[in-house]
Every structure is written in C-alpha cells, then in structure tokens.
Amino acid sequence: MVTESDLIFGEIAIKTGLVTAEQIDECIKIQQSLTAWKPIGLVLLEKKYLSEEQLQTIIDIQRRNLEARAIQVRHIKEDNIFGRLAVKLGLLTEQEVEECLGVQLMMQDDYFLRLGEIMVNKGYLSQDDVDTVLDYQSAQIIHCPKCRTKYNVILFNPGSSFICYECDKELIVPDSLKALDM
C-alpha cells in the first residue's frame, strides 16, 4: 500500500535529485508486493538508492514542509475569523472577503500574506480598519525579530510567550501596545 506520505517523500527525493523517477517506481512496486507495509524511504535505503544521510535529508525536508503547511492552515483559519468579523463590523462585504480568501489560497507555498494584508493591498480596508478588527478580536500583530514572521496574538496577554514556528525563537508579548511598533 502506497501512502500519501510515501508519494510526497518520492516527489521530494526526485526534486532534490537524490533518486530518479524510475527508482521510485521500482521501489513502489517492491513496496506493493510486501505483505507488511514499509515506508518508501526504507525500501530506497535497502536498494542502496539512498544513503542514511540522504534519507534523513529528505525526511527533514518533508517535516519542514508539513510544519509550514500546518502554520499556513492555522493562519487561514484565523483569517476566516478575521474576515467574518470585518463583515460584521460593516467594513467590507462577504464577496470581498471571499475574493481575498481566494487570492490567499492561490498564493504559492513560499509566499503567504495574511488576509488583512491582502485586503489593504486591494484597497478594501485601510490599515486602521485592520487594526480595528484586530482590536475587536483582542489581537495584536507581533513580528519575530529574527525571521520577521508575523503572528496574530489573540486575546492579548502582556508578558506571555510563545515559540516562533519558523525559526524557534521565543517571542514575548510586550507589556504595552507601544512596544509593538517594531
């Protein structure tokens, strides 16, 4: 049985140039003939198409991709709440929110804008409008000083901390709103 994880692993292995599509196909056939499931990476390792170091490299890439996608999904969920709230406040229409969500979904994985940023870029909201919606959510935007990733901190709690999902730096929610002007 070939899993989605195996297919993603194979795509990464091919894209990184560590194996060929033919080697992946061969190992998938071997995998399908086994009575007990074995990850495609181990089949590639047993066939000596990959070294242990190369296997670990692909696993690390796959893990980072999954983590990045999980962060993006979480942001999209938060942005849906942001959009619904902006409509309730009469700042824009549901159709405008849907359009902006569509733009967000069409973005490439390596380039992601928050919904408020898209709305400002399209001229649907001003930055003051975005701040109003965030204030209404009791949220503030904090930038990671190391990698500049933006976070909506919901239910603003001065002094609390969390870890940046991109670079693992600890971020501390400032004691005052003035400290957010980074």
Tens-place pLDDT, residues 22-69: 999 999 999 999 989 899 999 999 999 999 999 999 999 999 888 877
Q: Is residue 95 part of a domain?
A: no
Q: Is residue 9 part of a domain?
A: yes
**Which pLDDT belongs to residue 176?**
56
Residue whose structure tokens are 């993603």 = 8
Q: Is residue 172 part of a domain?
A: yes
- Mean pLDDT value across the chain: 85
Which residue range(s) make up the domain with 172?
Answer: 138-182
Q: Is residue 117 part of a domain?
A: no
| Mean pLDDT of the 110-116 span | 80
Q: Is residue 38 part of a domain?
A: yes
Strands 140-143 and 150-153: antiparallel
Number of domains the chain is built from? 2
Contact 85, 110 (CB under 8 A): no
Burial class (CB within 10 angstroms; exposed 0-12, middle 13-18, buried 19+) of 45: middle
- Asked whether the predicted pLDDT for residue 5 surpasses 80, the reply is yes
Q: How many whole angstroms separate alpha carbon 180 and alpha carbon 159?
A: 12
Q: How many whole angstroms separate alpha carbon 182 and alpha carbon 106?
A: 29
Rounded to 5 degrees, what are φ and ψ at 152?
-85, 120
Contact 171, 164 (CB under 8 A): yes
Q: Is residue 178 part of a domain?
A: yes
Q: How many whole angstroms separate alpha carbon 105 and alpha carbon 108?
A: 8
- Asked whether the predicted pLDDT for residue 181 surpasses 80, the reply is no
**Higher per-residue confidence, 176 vs 89:** 89
Q: Is residue 120 part of a domain?
A: no
**Which pLDDT belongs to residue 106?**
83
Angle at 53 between CA 47 and CA 55, to 5 degrees: 55
Q: Is residue 69 part of a domain?
A: no
pTM of the shown model:
0.50
- Greatest alpha-carbon pair distance for the chain in Å reads 63
Lowest mean pLDDT among 4-8, 148-152, 156-160, 169-173: 156-160
Beta strand extents in 73-180 (DSSP E only) = 140-143, 150-153, 161-163, 170-172
